[in-house]
Each structure stands twice: as C-alpha cells, then as structure tokens.
Amino acid sequence: MRPRRIWAVARKEGIHIIRDWRSLVMGIAIPILLLILFGYALTLDVDEVPLVVWDQSGTQASRNFMSRFEGSPYFALRRIVQTYAEVERAIDAGEALVALVIPVDFAMDVGSGRTARAQAIVDGSDSNTATIVLGYLETVARTYNQDLAIEQAARSSGRTVTVPLDLRPRVWFNADMESKNYIIPGLIAVIMMVIAAMLTSLTVAREWETGTMEQIISTPLKGPELILGKLLPYFGIGMLDVLIAVLMGEFVFEVPLRGNVALLFTMAAIFLAGALSLGMLISIVTKSQLLASQLAMVVTFLPAFLLSGFMYDISNMPNAIQAITHVVPARYFVSLLKGIYLKGIGLELLMLEAALLAGFGLAVLLAANLLFKKKMA
C-alpha cells in the first residue's frame, strides 16, 4: 500500500463531504441532536410520584402518617379527595399514580396498639414504574412502623429504646443514583455505532450507483488503499463526535468522568474503526445506497440499543439472547465506557473488552478488504 494513494482517496472523499452538506449534518449535527434528545428524555429516575390522599380518619395520627409522604422526595401530593370516585378519576386521568386511602378507625388502631391498615392504590399500567413506586411505599410504611414501635415501647417502659440494627448503606460510583450517569456513557456508544455505520455504508455504494467505480477499478489503486482512504475522513468526523459527546456529558449533563481521558479516546478510536469498517462492508455487499442505509440501521441500531446492556441488564435476558449479545460490539464498548466513566478503572480490568473490541474491528476490516477484492476481480 502506498500512503500517497490513500491520501488521494481520503482527499477526494473529504472534498465530497464538504460539498455535500447533508453528510456533514448527518456526521455532526445528528449525534448532538440524539444526545440531547435521549439524554433529557430517556430517564429511569422515578421521583415526585403524583399522589392523592383520601383521609377518612381526619385525625392527628392520620395527618402524621400522611406527612411522611409529603416530606418524601419521591412523592408529590396533588390534592385531597373525598370519595372513591375521585380516586378512580384521578388515576384514570393520569393525575395521580398512587392513591392513599386512610380508613376511619386508623387513629383508634394506632392508639390501642392494634395493627392499623391503610390502602395504597397504584397505577400498574407501567409495570417498571409501579414496581419502583411499591418499593417507595414499603419504605415509607416500614419507617413509620419503626418510629411508631420505638415510641410505643418507650412510652410503656419509660426509658429510651434503641434500634437493634442500624444499617447504613453506601452507594459507590453513582452516589446520587441518577440514571443519566450511566445512560449518557452508554448512549455515546449507541450513537457512535449507528452514525459511523450509516456514514460509511453509502460510500462504495454511491460509487457504483454514480458509475465512478468503473473508473476507480481501471486505476492502479488497490482495494485496501481505497477502503482506508475512504475511512479516514469519516474517522476524523467520528472522533470529533466523540469529543463533542464527552464535552456535552461533562458540561451539559454533568456526568462525572473519573477515568483516564486518553484511555477513553483510545477505546473510542478502536470502536469507531470497527463501526466504520462495518458500514463499509455493508456498502460493498449491497451496492445500493438505499439498501445499505436500511441494512446499516438494522445491523447497528437495534442490536446496540437492545443487546448492548445500555438500557437493559444482559444478565436478566434469556440465555439464548445472552449468547447473541457476545457478537454485538457495542456491548464491549458500553462496558468500557461505564467502567471508565463511573468507576475510573483502567485497562488492567478492561483488557478483555478492549481485546474483543480490537478483534471485531480487525475482523470486519479484513472482511471488507477481501470482499472488495472479489468485486474488483
């Protein structure tokens, strides 16, 4: 291979990108737009759950119990209702996700030491949100029970009662439990996989459709020189996108970057080379820009979004699906990004993911070269 030929192809492709403003928009503006859209819209945090209360007791004890929900950051009291019809209407209309019903004899049961009962009606239309809300409800009820039991024991014994066990949990790596801190790093991998493959999936196919491929074949240019030359401009755009995504994560979304920045960009470069080569391979196989763009979306976006561990925990998937995820390169890049971003770990613990990512990039690049040689013949 001659560097002069590779540079000539890269220069030609760069000129085409500059003249075709749509390629620049796709290469730079779309990743920014997707990062903003998904970064703000895609959240797994469940807080300020809308709540309505029907307090049939109307006593100090019931108001004390209700104040536990008002003082919680996870619930937001919308209004007080007076009938079951209002409860149903509030949940049906989406005004409330939870309705708390406190019975008439609540204060009497609490005062006499009997088990007091209260009803919490949860909108289960979204099962994941409902599960989280049920956990919040149980936490509030458990805290109220504990405080009430300590108060009653102290009143009956006349001395201070201590809690037998004081569990103090400590969360590492994401102390505030904010979903954006692990969504944004994974989102960078998904966006880069999609954009990189879509950018290069049109390059060779465009040459075939415009009739310029015959002219290229007639030149002394070799297949690897053509592929590398076409990859270089898009590699530059991809690395610019990585820089923009990292800066947005730091200054727009305030996601902490605890690891080595140089390691992050090195791993991104390896992943980007593989994703660009995959797009090139698709372009070589299809020879059609329309078919190449459609196939690139299916091959990149769906596996990266669903099977990379970006949104859904791989360990919770069926065994057959877990096996399939091992051939999804975004899985390893997501793992690398989360390890570098959240845990600040280095290559000594991420060597396997890095090696598999490099192996993927090398295999796809070799496949693109081999298949293009067959087309040249």
> For residue range 80-138, what is the model confidence (pLDDT) as tens digits?
999 999 999 999 998 999 999 999 999 998 888 788 899 999 999 888 889 999 999 99
In the chain, % of residues over pLDDT 70: 95
Residue 166 included in any domain? no
Contact 46, 139 (CB under 8 A): no
pTM across the whole model: 0.79
Which pLDDT score is estimated for 377? Answer: 46
Asked, for residue 100, whether it belongs to a domain, the answer is yes
Instruction: Based on the fold, state whether residues 327 and 365 are members of the same structural domain.
Output: yes
- Is residue 269 a part of any domain in this protein? yes
* Nearest CA-CA partner of 233 in 193, 181, 276, 268: 276
217 and 317 fall within a common domain: yes
Res 373: pLDDT:
63
The CATH number of residue 66's host domain is 3.40.1710.10
**pLDDT score for 102:** 94
The verdict on 20 and 59 lying in the same domain is no
pLDDT in tens, 175-200: 877 888 888 888 888 888 878 777 78
Domain that holds residue 58: 49-157
Whether residue 374 is predicted with pLDDT greater than 60 in this model: the reply is: no
In terms of Cβ atoms closer than 10 Å to its own Cβ (0-12, 13-18, 19+), residue 51 is: buried
Q: Give the pLDDT confidence score for residue 217 in this predicted structure.
A: 67
Give yes or no: residues 104 and 37 share one domain.
no
In a domain, 172, yes or no: no
Q: Quick check: 69 pLDDT over 60?
A: yes
Q: What is the pLDDT of residue 85?
A: 93
Indicate if 33 and 61 belong to the same structural domain.
no
Regarding whether 147 and 267 lie in a shared domain, the answer is no
Q: Are residues 54 and 77 in the same domain?
A: yes
Residue-level pLDDT at 136: 92
Both 31 and 60 in a single domain?
Answer: no
Q: Is residue 162 part of a domain?
A: no
The pLDDT of residue 88: 93
Digit-coded pLDDT (tens) for 37-55? 888 877 777 888 999 999 9
Burial 250-276 (b: 16+ CB within 10 A, else e): eeebebebebeeebbeebbebbbbbbb
How many folded domains does the chain comprise?
A: 2
Whether residue 167 is contained in a domain is answered as no
Given 92, 126, 157, the domain boundary residue is: 157
Same domain membership, residue 182 and residue 85: no
Of 177, 180, 173, 179, whose CA–CA distance to 35 is shortest?
180
The residue among 288 and 259 whose pLDDT is bigger is 259
- Which pLDDT score, from 0 to 100, does residue 352 have? 92
Within this chain, do residues 239 and 354 fall inside the same structural domain, yes or no?
Answer: yes
- Decide if pLDDT at 371 tops 80: yes
Domain end, chosen from 157, 188, 217, is at 157
Q: Per-residue DSSP letters for 207-267?
A: HHHHT-HHHHHTSS--HHHHHHHHHHHHHHHHHHHHHHHHHHHHHTS-----S-HHHHHHH
What mean pLDDT is reported for the chain? Answer: 85
In a domain, 353, yes or no: yes
| 59 and 138 Cβ atoms separated by less than 8 Å | no
Answer whether residue 275 is part of any domain: yes
Per-residue pLDDT reduced to its tens digit, 285-331: 887 878 888 888 888 888 888 888 887 888 888 999 999 999 999 99
For residues 20 and 112, membership in a common domain is answered with no
One-letter amino acid at 235 equals F
pLDDT above 50 (res 263)? yes
Min mean pLDDT across 164-178, 267-281, 322-336 is at: 164-178
What's the pLDDT at 355? Answer: 94
| Same-domain check for residues 200 and 135 | no
Q: What pLDDT is recorded for position 161?
A: 64
Two tokens at 249?
A: 């994560």
Which among 55, 85, 95, 48 has a CA at the least distance from the CA of 70?
Answer: 48
List helix spans (H) across the chain: 3-19, 21-24, 30-41, 60-70, 84-92, 106-112, 127-157, 180-200, 203-210, 213-217, 223-251, 261-286, 289-306, 319-325, 329-338, 347-376
Picking from 157, 188, 205, the residue at the C-terminal end of a domain is 157
Over residues 153-161, mean pLDDT = 71
pLDDT of residue 214: 65
